[in-house]
């Protein structure tokens, strides 16, 4: 198939798909984390994302809806927060101060 025919076929395929009902993904909201313990583990909606340091650098894209953010490390009380994200929400900055469990 020539490049021109391939482009026309792709354009027709896209047009047909949109005519049948284009569904666009909802806009996500960026979550930025600031925590006092770099090597604590961050979990969002029961999915481990990695260390605080890793998540601080990359951020997290959250789709609209409710999300549970948990930060935990042995020897510290866990930080657990429920966020409700709406489409078009601005950047969310979550400050986490982990407290050591007393001996």
pLDDT at 69: 97
Q: Which domain holds residue 34?
A: 26-96
User: In this structure, is residue 19 part of a structural domain?
Assistant: no
Q: Does residue 12 belong to any structural domain of this protein?
A: no
User: Among candidates 65, 62, 37, 63, which has minimal Cα distance to 51?
Assistant: 37
Residue in the structure block whose two tokens are 């409710």:
66
Instruction: Report the CATH number at residue 62.
Output: 2.60.40.1120
Residue 13 maps to a domain: no
Q: pLDDT tens, 18-61?
A: 555 666 777 899 999 999 999 999 999 999 999 999 999 999 99
Question: pLDDT band at residue 1, thresholds of 50, 70 and 90?
Answer: low
CB of 33 within 8 A of CB of 55? yes
What digits encode the pLDDT tens for the residues 56-98? 999 999 999 999 999 999 999 999 999 999 998 999 999 999 9
User: pLDDT value at position 14?
Assistant: 52
Indicate if the pLDDT at residue 16 is higher than 50. Answer: no
Whether residue 11 has pLDDT greater than 90:
no
């Amino acid at each position: 198939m020539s490049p021109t025919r391939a482009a026309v076929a792709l354009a027709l395929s896209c047009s047909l798909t949109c005519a049948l009902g284009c569904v666009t993904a909802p806009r996500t909201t960026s979550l930025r984390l600031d925590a006092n313990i770099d090597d604590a583990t961050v979990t969002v909606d029961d999915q481990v994302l990695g260390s605080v340091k890793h998540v601080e650098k990359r951020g997290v894209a959250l789709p609209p809806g409710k999300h549970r953010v948990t930060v935990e490390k042995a020897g510290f009380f866990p930080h657990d927060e429920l966020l409700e994200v709406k489409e078009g929400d601005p950047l969310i900055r979550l400050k986490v101060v982990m407290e050591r469990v007393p001996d």
